[in-house]
């Protein structure tokens, strides 16, 4: 019967996307038992095992993968149709945002601004440096740092950045203050790691410079903490060290050689651009990420 067509499909797609009955249940706001029962009923109706289950993992079978690839765009189309009808209405419900660790100091105030403007909104934040596949992972808005590759994604630039070279007053008193990037030889340098586990070169007005690290770290806030503790000289985004500079805990060096850093953008899938939630998120992110005058 036509009324049976979609029964169990939404839980099945959620389990396939999340790779977990538990996470799918949390996402759908129901019990794990309800999700399991819905998927089992779907399997009985289609006459195929769609998910291979063990005590620890769940994975798509061959038939399940083929069914999933057909169901997913259909559900996305239905979601888009619902959102199109809501255009112009008050944002409400859940907003899923993906962001890299380094953007969190800016994202949290943006969520506060969104909550203040739209009390009916709730948030799910996925933090990580791997790029989210927006459609496949049911992400409404993603924050991305750096050049955006050519794609169909809708984007809005949130902020330009500057790369500041900083150290603690105590470190500079002990080791002296570098006057040019060449003076960094012989200094203790704190260097960030890229998601590919490679040392990031430091950016200066005349081009990138590779420095010898005394510390390699893949977490930006920890690099700032190390600089504040006097471990060495580090380079970070301007927004990451603004408070420490204002309090005198860090001092900017090589100021005349300061370079622009990568831009920060908000992006969404084309089918989400009409969503009132997404439009509200783009506006609040732009307001919160804007540098103070």
Which CATH number characterizes residue 46's domain?
Answer: 1.10.10.10
Within this chain, do residues 59 and 135 fall inside the same structural domain, yes or no? Answer: no
User: What is the predicted pLDDT for the residue at 290?
Assistant: 82
User: What is the predicted pLDDT for the residue at 56?
Assistant: 76
User: What is the predicted pLDDT for the residue at 181?
Assistant: 95
Domain count, the chain: 3
Within this chain, do residues 194 and 131 fall inside the same structural domain, yes or no? Answer: no
CA distances from 34 to 21, 40, 62, 148 (A): 10, 10, 24, 40
Within this chain, do residues 137 and 272 fall inside the same structural domain, yes or no? Answer: yes
User: What is the predicted pLDDT for the residue at 134?
Assistant: 67
User: What is the predicted pLDDT for the residue at 52?
Assistant: 92
Question: Which of 23, 55, 86 is the last residue before a domain boundary?
Answer: 86
What is the extent of the structural domain holding 140?
A: 93-159+263-289
Question: Which of 30, 51, 86 is the last residue before a domain boundary?
Answer: 86
Stretches where the chain sits below pLDDT 70 are 1-3, 77, 79-88, 129-137, 150, 292-293
Which CATH number characterizes residue 202's domain?
Answer: 3.40.190.10
Task: For residue 152, give both structure tokens.
Answer: 């169909």
User: What is the predicted pLDDT for the residue at 133?
Assistant: 64
User: What is the predicted pLDDT for the residue at 25?
Assistant: 85
CA distances from 177 to 186, 223, 251 (A): 11, 19, 10
Within this chain, do residues 239 and 172 fall inside the same structural domain, yes or no? Answer: yes
Angle at CA of residue 89, ends 84 and 91, nearest 5°: 95
Within this chain, do residues 101 and 39 fall inside the same structural domain, yes or no? Answer: no
Within this chain, do residues 76 and 116 fall inside the same structural domain, yes or no? Answer: no
User: What is the predicted pLDDT for the residue at 199?
Assistant: 92
Within this chain, do residues 155 and 166 fall inside the same structural domain, yes or no? Answer: no
Task: For residue 203, give both structure tokens.
Answer: 């950016």
Q: Note the pTM of the prediction, 2 decimals.
A: 0.64
Residue 164's CB: how many other CB atoms inside 10 A? Answer: 23
Within this chain, do residues 179 and 116 fall inside the same structural domain, yes or no? Answer: no
What is the bridge-based pairing of β-strands 207-209 and 121-127? unpaired
Within this chain, do residues 38 and 112 fall inside the same structural domain, yes or no? Answer: no
């Amino acid at each position: 019967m036509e009324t049976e067509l979609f029964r169990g499909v939404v839980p099945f797609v959620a389990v396939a996307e999340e790779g977990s009955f538990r996470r799918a249940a949390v996402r759908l706001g129901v019990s794990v038992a309800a999700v399991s029962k819905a998927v089992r009923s779907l399997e009985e109706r289609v006459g195929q095992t769609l998910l291979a289950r063990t005590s620890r993992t769940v994975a798509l079978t061959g038939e399940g993968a083929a069914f999933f690839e057909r169901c997913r765009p259909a559900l996305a189309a239905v979601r888009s149709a619902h959102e199109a009808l809501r255009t112009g209405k008050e944002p409400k419900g859940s907003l899923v945002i993906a962001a890299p660790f380094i953007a969190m100091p800016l994202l949290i105030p943006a969520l506060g601004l969104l909550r203040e403007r739209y009390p009916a909104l709730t948030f799910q934040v996925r933090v990580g440096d791997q790029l989210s596949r927006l459609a496949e992972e049911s992400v409404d808005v993603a924050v991305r740092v750096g050049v955006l590759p050519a794609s169909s994604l809708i984007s809005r630039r949130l902020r330009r950045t500057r790369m500041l070279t900083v150290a603690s007053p105590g470190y500079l008193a002990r080791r002296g203050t570098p006057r040019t990037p060449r003076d960094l030889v012989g200094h203790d340098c704190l260097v960030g790691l890229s998601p590919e586990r490679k040392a990031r070169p430091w950016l200066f007005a005349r081009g990138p410079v590779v420095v010898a690290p005394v510390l390699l770290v893949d977490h930006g806030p920890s690099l700032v903490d190390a600089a504040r503790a006097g471990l060495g000289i580090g380079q970070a985004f301007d927004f990451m060290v603004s408070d420490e500079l204002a309090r005198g805990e860090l001092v900017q060096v090589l100021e005349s050689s300061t370079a622009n850093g990568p831009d920060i953008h908000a992006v969404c899938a084309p089918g989400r651009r009409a969503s009132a939630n997404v439009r509200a998120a783009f506006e609040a992110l732009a307001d919160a990420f804007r540098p103070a005058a």
